Structure 1
Amino acid sequence: MLDVPNTTEKSFADGKILQSVADGVGVITFNNPEKRNAMSLDMWEGLGHALIELRDDGDVRVVILTGAGDKAFVSGADISQFEKTRHNAQASEEYSKRSAAQRALLADFPKPIVACIRGFCLGGGMQVAMAADIRIASENSQFGIPAAKLGIAYGYDGLKHLVSLVGPSWARLLLYTGMRIDSAEAARIGLVDRVVPDAELWNATLDIARTISGNAPLAIKAAKITIAQVLKDEGHRDMDAIKAIGAACMDSEDFREGRQAFMEKRKPKFTGR
């Protein structure tokens, strides 16, 4: 496990998905280092179980996603399963259906998610990372989507995050060529938010997560909801949801606590109410 004082630890998918919680921060670890944390169907299902528990845990305010070992965040889908699970269009459709709920849960997660990326972040690993709110990468990270080298088509959900982050031109370059880029290039095009030395990656990620955890949960929820609506086409935006969470913030105990703490020159203690 990572060097963080855990209060609870659990495992899913026969130990290939690990979960821990400490000080308002939930951590999910992709734990398949022998295959550079390649994602199998059972790992997708385990990820879903871990996410649901952290979503429903009132003490958890932010979630970190990370990979076990020093070689990869997630190196992609487990290609060794493809002959059985994705060998043609029908099988691939069934595969997608079985992982659809987990992918939707990740994309629509109500709490902030921070991806802590070391080493390879390829294919399905890119899908996981791009669904996070914030991506912190080490200097030795590599990114790419080798779908064209495998004959795989990515659907709408698989590409909307990529296009929103890097734009259509870079999305085309990455997809048409299957090329890999380093973390410096990934930061330059907007694929990741911050690059740090490898030895500092975990502490840098944890610092950000703890900062988020110490802020007002309703205010963060308001930001997450509003940003999600901004990214939608105008006709599909839920302006009522934005108005409702804004009103909840302004009527909250946390808003009063924030004002009092400022006046008293002390650190606020937010409860999410």
Structure 2
Amino acid sequence: MTGSVLCTRADAVATVTLANPGKLNAIDLAMWQRLAEIIHELSEDGQLRCVILRGDGDQAFAAGGDIEEFLSRRDTLERAMAYHAQVGEALQAVFDCRLPTIALVQGACIGGGLEIAAQCDLRICAESSRFGAPIKQLGFSMYPGELAGLLRLVGSATVLELLLEGRILGAPEALAKGLATRVVADSEVVDEAYASARRICDGAPLVARWHKQWVRRLQNEVPLAAQELRASFAFLETDDYREGLSAFLGKRKPAFRGR
């Protein structure tokens, strides 16, 4: 029996749920494929302003890949390359999502689960959540396309610590090392994740997308061209910019429309 990836919507927020009952939401190949499909669809949805990714229940975000299927899905070089190409596509889809993304982390966030969370813009975590990638105990290395996201998030020192030692980190240490954005009480983590989404939704949606775009661009060491600097003022032609100024001067809450 395979797991599933579910998607629900409420107002301008979509919730994507990793579900694999009995396996702490371990991610099988079909789930990786479906995750990529869903995120691609949501990214182009003009009615949405934020995406929350979470695990089913409160015991795990995802406890890694579904190891049982490795014996049949990853048993040759060709199948292993195809398998991890699909994993890489799903992770890239999350990273490339035009909408702000939040990982709501409860319980185990291990291996592939940690890789997904690392692609999100924010990681709101419960105090009892735990993080790691102890694949050294399984005798295989992390695929370079999956390693890249973790390296981008926390740097080589923390990545090597995770992979070489195989330790499982508690939420406070994960926060200190940059794996978590925010840690709150277990009883508050769901409310805090959705409160974060509402704060995002209150802002101008085009601005959120531009901020994601420019943060990524500025991590590239190539200097900005004059055309790019001019493009950074595209907001001047938007209705949302005019609405934001009008609302500020009129001392009222802005009503942004994403155009």
TM-score tier (shorter): over 0.9
Letter in 1 for 2:128: N
Find the partner of 1:181 among 169, 175, 188: 169
Q: Does 1:123 align with 2:111?
A: yes
| 1:33–1:69 CA contact under 8 A, matched in 2 | no
Q: Does 1:228 align with 2:210?
A: no
SS in structure 1 at match of 2:233: helix
Letter in 1 for 2:237: D
Partner of 1:192: 180
Superposition deviation, residue 165 in structure 1: 2.5
Superposition deviation, residue 238 in structure 1: 6.7
Q: Does 1:95 align with 2:83?
A: yes
Partner of 1:166: 154
| Residue identity (%) | 36
Find the partner of 1:23 among 3, 8, 11: 11
Letter in 1 for 2:244: G
Letter in 2 for 1:246: S
Letter in 2 for 1:167: G
Q: Does 1:69 align with 2:57?
A: yes
- In structure 2, runs of 5+ residues without a counterpart are none
Superposition deviation, residue 105 in structure 1: 1.3
Distance in 2 (alpha carbons) for counterparts of 1:240 and 1:25: 36
Q: Using structure 1 for the length normalisation, give the TM-score.
A: 0.89
| 1:27–1:64 CA contact under 8 A, matched in 2 | yes
Distance in 2 (alpha carbons) for counterparts of 1:133 and 1:239: 26
Q: Using structure 2 for the length normalisation, give the TM-score.
A: 0.94
State the number of aligned residues.
259
Find the partner of 1:261 among 223, 244, 247: 247
SS in structure 1 at match of 2:22: helix
Superposed CA offset, 1:126-173 (max 9, x none): 110000000010001010011211122223332222223222112111
| 2:24–2:59 CA contact under 8 A, matched in 1 | yes
Distance in 2 (alpha carbons) for counterparts of 1:171 and 1:97: 21
- In structure 1, runs of 5+ residues without a counterpart are 1-12
Pairwise mapping of residues 98-117 of structure 1 onto structure 2 (< 5 A)?
98-117=86-105
Find the partner of 1:38 among 19, 22, 26: 26
Distance in 2 (alpha carbons) for counterparts of 1:17 and 1:90: 26
Letter in 2 for 1:262: F
Partner of 2:238: 252
Bigger Cα displacement from structure 2, 161-170 vs 204-213: 161-170
Letter in 2 for 1:210: R
